[in-house]
Amino acid sequence: MLKSDLVNILVAKKGVTQKQAEATIEVIFGSMKDALVGDGKVGENIEIRGLGAFHVKHYGAYQGRNPKTGEPIAVRAKRGILFRAGKELKDRVNKPGPDGKVPPLNPNQQ
């Protein structure tokens, strides 16, 4: 599933134009990105009921090492995103099959 597939689904199911659907998808994920990035220093966490939560995690700078040469290198402080699936998504993704077990994914789905 790609952004373009989402656009097509909005067009097919809601009768909006291609342009409107594209704008909607861009605004949804654009506003989420903007919230996480924030002013460049402090970002906002996002919580979407049923889907999950995105947290901005701050990592401190540390002294790393080039694993090949052993040379010490300074690694800058940075920020990353942690995602935790919400209850509904967790349960739906992890639904047991008829045998009570959760089936592995098809190799082409991984």
Partner 1 sequence: MTKADIIESVYEKVGFSKKESAELVELVFDTLKETLERGDKVKISGFGNFQPRYKRARPGRNPQSGQPIEITARRVVKFVPSQVLKADLNEGFLPDGEKSAEDDDDGADDDEDDDD
| Amino acid of residue 97 | G
19 phi/psi in degrees, rounded to 5:
-60, -45
- Nearest-angstrom CA–CA distance, 56 and 36: 6
44 binds partner 1 (CB under 8 A): yes
Give phi and psi for 81, each to the nearest 5: -115, 130
| Residues within window 48-77 making contact with partner 1, judged by CB under 8 A | 48-52, 54, 56-63, 72, 74-77
Q: Which residues of the chain form contacts with partner 1 (CB under 8 A)?
A: 1-3, 6, 9-10, 13-14, 16, 20, 23-25, 27-33, 35-37, 40-41, 43-52, 54, 56-63, 72, 74-81, 83, 85, 88-90, 92-95, 101-102, 104-106, 109-110
